[in-house]
Copies of this chain bind each other. A is one copy, B any other.
Amino acid sequence: MLINTDEISAIDQELNTKQPKQIIKYALDKFDNIAISFSGAEDVVLIDLALKAKKDIHVFSLDTGRLHPETYAFIETVRKHYNIDIELVSPKAELLEPFVKEKGLFSFFEDGHTECCGVRKIEPLKRKLSTAQAWITGQRKDQSPGTRQSIPVFQQDTAFKGIDEALYKFNPLANWSSEDVWNYIKMFDVPYNPLHQTGFISIGCQPCTRPVLPNQHEREGRWWWENEGGKECGLHATNIISKS
């Protein structure tokens, strides 16, 4: 399915005033082959919302091999709670082994997280998305002061290619705040990662995530040794591209 730029704008504009639940329903109706990306954090609400719209959904997570033990346990909790499959995409041994042999397990603290994210997140994601027409993410405008302020609800994903070459991306939570997400979690008794009970807001790989102090922005808990404002792992590369 190919959607031209004008149509994309029109769809985005229309969905932009809708609730996440309606956006997800639209997405699941429009594309047969659409995957929901689940990070092991508060984007669990995507799964909860999607299952209210459709029984048979397709969920995947990136298992970088460096997630917190609590996150692995939480992914299993979600799998059992909703009785769904969760596809865990893993890095390729043939890329990971030479990288780690040369640079060790914590090179990101020395020369930045791009190389490690490339092997552990981007290659597996690319591989995964190449089998789909579209994907659904938990991105929100309020998550990152530098890179996520103008996230659309619907867009073409120019950073990756799908099964039909073009790939589309829905961000149903774009206009929700962190508070909206947590109100939803509490109201509907959605299971959540227990790390959220120990000061973690944003959750990614274990060595690259830390709890934040009261009143700190959640993004201060990610890649804190690097510059402010451009903290993206590359999953959502269009955010960075669109800024230039």
Contact = CB atoms under 8 A, between A and B. Distances in A.
A214 B207 contact: no
Interface of A: 42, 63, 65-66, 68-69, 72-73, 75-76, 79-80, 85-93, 96-97, 100-101, 104-106, 124, 178-179, 182-183, 186, 192, 196-201, 206-207, 211, 213-216, 218
B198 A213 contact: no
A179 B91 CA distance: 39
Given A124-B93, A213-B196, A87 B105 contact: no
A8 to B, nearest CB: 32
A22 to B, nearest CB: 23
Contacts of A63: 65, 100
5 contacts: A68-B69, A87-B101, A88-B97, A88-B101, A196-B199
Given A89-B97, A93-B93, A215-B182, A105 B75 contact: yes
Given A196-B213, A198-B198, 12 more contacts: A72-B105, A73-B105, A76-B106, A88-B97, A88-B100, A91-B93, A93-B93, A179-B215, A197-B211, A197-B213, A199-B211, A201-B214
